[in-house]
């Protein structure tokens, strides 16, 4: 998971508006969120706690977790969820299961050979997803 450490900014997103519609996000927030650059900062504390600071043009927040331990979290779209973070060392993928209303969501992130971070976000039990690409900054 150490390869995720550092600061990332989004450079490309696909199918985000359809995803947000399926998540019952209103028109104005959808349009503002679609235009915003997402910034992520992956950190690891001395005690092994992982920290992800996130920031959009109009919001910021943080999640702190131990891999595999379910936590309460508030997401950028203001959803309160039970979040289960995980890392698969065989694939190098970091994932989050976000349990909450209106739908449960699976987030998967991985680093490509050219150093970009790819993000795939899917609504569980629906055929709706979006992808986002990040680069280090």
pLDDT tens column, 48-99: 999 999 998 778 999 999 999 999 999 887 889 999 999 999 999 999 999 9
The pTM of the full predicted model, rounded to 2 decimals, is 0.92
Q: Report CA-CA distances (Å) from 120 to 18, 49, 105, 107, 123.
A: 14, 24, 10, 6, 10
| Structure confidence at residue 76 (pLDDT) | 83
Query: In the predicted model, is pLDDT for residue 109 greater than 80?
Result: yes
Segment 16-27, tens digit of pLDDT = 999 999 999 889
CATH number belonging to the domain at 2-136, selected among 3.40.50.300, 1.20.210.10, 2.40.128.20, 3.40.50.620? 2.40.128.20
Alpha-carbon span 57 to 117, nearest angstrom: 20
Mean pLDDT of the chain: 94
């Amino acid at each position: 998971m150490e390869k995720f450490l550092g600061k990332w900014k989004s450079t490309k997103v696909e199918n985000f508006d359809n995803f947000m519609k399926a998540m019952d996000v209103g028109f104005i927030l959808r349009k503002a969120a679609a235009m915003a650059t997402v910034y992520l900062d992956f950190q690891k504390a001395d005690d092994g706690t992982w920290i992800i600071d996130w920031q959009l043009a109009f919001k910021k927040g943080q999640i702190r977790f131990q891999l595999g331990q379910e936590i309460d979290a508030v997401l950028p779209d203001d959803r309160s969820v039970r979040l289960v973070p995980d890392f698969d060392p065989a694939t190098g993928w970091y994932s989050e299961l976000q349990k909450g209303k209106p739908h449960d969501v699976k987030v998967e992130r991985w680093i490509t050979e050219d150093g970009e971070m790819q993000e795939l976000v899917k609504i569980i039990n629906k055929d709706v997803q979006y992808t986002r690409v990040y680069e280090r900054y």
